[in-house]
Structure 1
Amino acid sequence: MPIVCSALCLVARVLQTGHPPQLRPERIALSTMSIVLEDVAEVRPLITEEGITVIYPELEIQEQSIETAHGIIHVTMWGSPKVNRPVILTYHDIGLNHKTCFNPLFNFEDMQEITQHFSVCHVDAPGQQEGAPSFPAGYVYPSMDQLAEMLPGVVQQLGLKSIIGMGIGAGAYVLTRFALNHPSMVEGLVLININPCAEGWMDWAAAKISGWTHALPDMVISHLFSREEIHNNHDLIQTYRHHILNDINRDNLQLFVKSYTSRRDLEIERPFPGGPCNTLKCPSLLVVGDNSPAVDAVVDCNSKLDPTKTTLLKMSDCGGFPQVVQPAKLAEAFKYFVQGMGYMPSASMTRLMRSRTASGSSVTSMEGNRSRSHTGEGTRSRSHTSEGNRSRSHTSDGNRSRTNSNLTPNSGSNATPMEASC
């Protein structure tokens, strides 16, 4: 009502004087904010820094460069760390930075509830941030293991208690290595398009070809998107191709790509009773689109992780960019994930209900008793699915509660992945 009255007063003044009044900057900002807020629900592949500050006027956004044992890393902090809560720490894929990778998701309306409960720390790999200068001649880019070892310095210098990691592609690999080496710093992981294995011969060939400057954008595009997306979603591909060609330092990107294609195998092992193993100790949500070029690698990674702490979410009607193409479903899945960790118990879960009839998600569940945020057959706790008794955020044949993704548990003595979609 005050905004409407102000608008009427402005119109009256124009009619009386014949001149538009000089608006103060704060009024201009208010008008801009009201326009942008109406468009929050739109999925925009590229969002500018101005769009972020307008959409989140109450969040303090700070950018800084942090010196670590393996070089300087650029971070962007949204909000201040909450007491007794982890910070969401993101890490992007090759060919991207935190803005082009995560802004479409975090600017989505359903994620605003999450950012009210958690501060967010966006990490840009060295030299990949917007406007980054070229490295000097002879600079040796950090290996993927060294990139992971830069994160403890970030956590410590920012005074963070712990993190919930969200990584995509190369960023998912870095966060997984970080969690394996420093489990006490990581409460949970959301890994999109994770490939825990060393490069194969096709990766090797692609890395060699990417040494040709003109071939680098095509190599990155084929890593980020499926063939179907490349052929059918021309607007999305053109947007990100333009970004790779014009907004990313090409020399720095080539170094990052070389580091990723030279990665070591994470050597993750599925735990067995009484034996030591190299595995993630925190709850993990693996996410992949059913048309993603990384789908086989993600399914393979799921087979190597602890089934009592891992959930695999496969999104239908989605390729390599679920955070852009299906932000509503990813936001919903993330809410359930943090609920299973004991946070945001009263979070609203509505958008997935509204969109269920349009397209669904599928989740691979493994057999065995689960805890906290996992799926499988047997006794479950509050955020899990199984046959039989269910609790508040699960689905099954028969009685349903709040979530809307159908989960099919395994049966029999051998735990083999099974998928179901709604």
Structure 2
Amino acid sequence: MGPGLFWNFSSKANCSVPQSLLQTMLLSRMAGMKEQQFTEEKPLLQEQRGQDTEMENCETLMPIGDWKEHDIETPYGMLHVVIRGAPKGNKPAILTYHDVGLNHKLCFNSFFHNEDMQEITKHFVVCHVDAPGQQIGASQMPQGYQYPTMDQLAGMLPSVVQHFGFKSILGIGVGAGAYILAKFALIFPDLVEGLVLLNIDPNGKGWIDWATGKLSGFTSALPDTVLPHLFSQEELMNNTELVQSYRQQINNTVNQVNLQLFWNMYNSRRDLEMNRTGTIINAKTLKCPVMLVVGDNAPAEEGVVECNSKLDPTNTTFLKMADSGGLPQLTQPGKLSEAFKYFLQGMGYIAYVKDRRLSGGPVPSASMTRLARSRTASLTSGSSIESSRIRGFTHSDSNEGQVSHTMEVSC
């Protein structure tokens, strides 16, 4: 397929799926589901198209505030999710997974309430997943409760897909949530159309790191143990208002016993078993388009760079955000929304969103539609890059001789 706005994504390839009972059941249910051939629903350029009543009615179908809570039974326990809208056509659902120490509200509220992001997401069903026991108001896990492993947390997601009848998902994960979504995509590649992974660390902890974490847990309150995982050293040293706020909210809104269980399990994770094709025999990696995101000097920076080295450079974008700290979706939601829009454009979902900074006026309703992949090559990136102040550049990968894509966002 042709390149998108900045990206050059390869077609999705089929991957073998491990034959566990859960996977067999899911695959049986979805056996008749094949990758769809998409035709253009509307002309590419806004001035060439007429009124589209279907898209204009999206706000009625998916109102911004119409969120519904569900508790879904899975093979590894109950899972709390919050959803807005209903599956529409062949569009994927946007599914989020938060980091350890947070829940969907603490992790994603700033991002999804950003005006530009709302213009995009009102055309998709959006599903926020809370890890077991991490949602606000969750009951404390009983004594002796065995918290699901990271693999099992990924294994709970097919139940969400099945429950709501999603054709596929477009995942947005942060930290532990990014690890879980990447694991899910490795096991069920046909259910994942794209991933936006913030602060992902694909490596398990060594015993020295594990012991250091244990010692820190004995000498510090749990929120202060988790905060260095979430925020940059500069943010912690300056004790910013954001850090102070999140220290208080983590302590007051997340059950501390449940958080400790999730924290312990995340720190016991194994390496994500993926390697760039050609580096080892039978290497397995993510097959869908991926955007990796990390803030300047964030604690996860080294892990994100390591993850980038394990992915296919032809469908991976690495986004390093300046002045965004450890959690870019909190400190730079507008910039991240902009990058997400371009990511969707590269996948063939076109957002006609006018730039407020150029027009001086309100942003008109976005028109989001799936185009035939071959048509995405007709997009021009020059004016869009200029208007957004996002500088895109490429660099050659010395091992593969292929081009990977890196973006730096200046704020």
Q: TM-score, normalised by structure 1?
A: 0.73
**What displacement does 1:138 show?**
1.2
Q: Does 1:315 align with 2:315?
A: no
Q: Contact 2:319–2:408 (CA<8 Å) still a contact in 1?
A: no
Q: Does 1:61 align with 2:67?
A: yes
Give 1:125-204 correspondences, 5 Å limit.
Answer: 125-201=131-207, 203-204=209-210
Q: Call closer, same or farther: CA 1:353–1:256 in 2, change over 3 Å.
A: farther
Q: Call closer, same or farther: CA 1:230–1:310 in 2, change over 3 Å.
A: same
Higher strand share: 2
Q: Equivalents in 2 of 1:77, 1:215: separation in Å?
A: 33
Q: 3-state DSSP class of the match of 2:69? A: strand
Q: Contact 1:179–1:280 (CA<8 Å) still a contact in 2?
A: yes
Identical counterparts, % of pairs: 56
Q: Does 1:350 align with 2:355?
A: yes
The one-letter code of the counterpart of 1:112 is: Q
Alignment partner, residue 409 of structure 1: 394
Q: Call closer, same or farther: CA 1:208–1:413 in 2, change over 3 Å.
A: closer
Segments of structure 2 that go 5 or more residues without pairing to the other structure are: 1-61, 360-371
Q: Equivalents in 2 of 1:135, 1:253: separation in Å?
A: 10
The one-letter code of the counterpart of 2:96 is: T
Segments of structure 1 that go 5 or more residues without pairing to the other structure are: 1-55, 355-371, 374-379, 384-390
Alignment partner, residue 107 of structure 2: 101
Q: Equivalents in 2 of 1:413, 1:93: separation in Å?
A: 33
Count of aligned residue pairs for this structure pair: 335
2:379 to 382, 387, 392: 392
Q: CA RMSD in A?
A: 2.8
Q: Does 1:72 align with 2:59?
A: no
Q: Contact 2:102–2:254 (CA<8 Å) still a contact in 1?
A: yes
Q: Contact 1:60–1:78 (CA<8 Å) still a contact in 2?
A: yes
The one-letter code of the counterpart of 2:381 is: H
Q: Call closer, same or farther: CA 1:168–1:420 in 2, change over 3 Å.
A: closer
The one-letter code of the counterpart of 2:270 is: R
Q: Contact 2:217–2:225 (CA<8 Å) still a contact in 1?
A: no
Q: 3-state DSSP class of the match of 1:253? A: helix
Q: Call closer, same or farther: CA 1:204–1:311 in 2, change over 3 Å.
A: same
**Structure showing greater Rg:** 1
Q: Call closer, same or farther: CA 1:181–1:94 in 2, change over 3 Å.
A: same
**What displacement does 1:140 show?**
0.4
Give 1:249-260 correspondences, 5 Å limit.
Answer: 249-260=255-266
Q: 3-state DSSP class of the match of 1:130? A: coil
2:268 to 254, 259, 262: 262
Q: Equivalents in 1 of 2:294, 2:64: separation in Å?
A: 32
Q: Equivalents in 2 of 1:217, 1:199: separation in Å?
A: 20
Q: Contact 2:321–2:408 (CA<8 Å) still a contact in 1?
A: no
Q: Equivalents in 1 of 2:358, 2:325: separation in Å?
A: 22
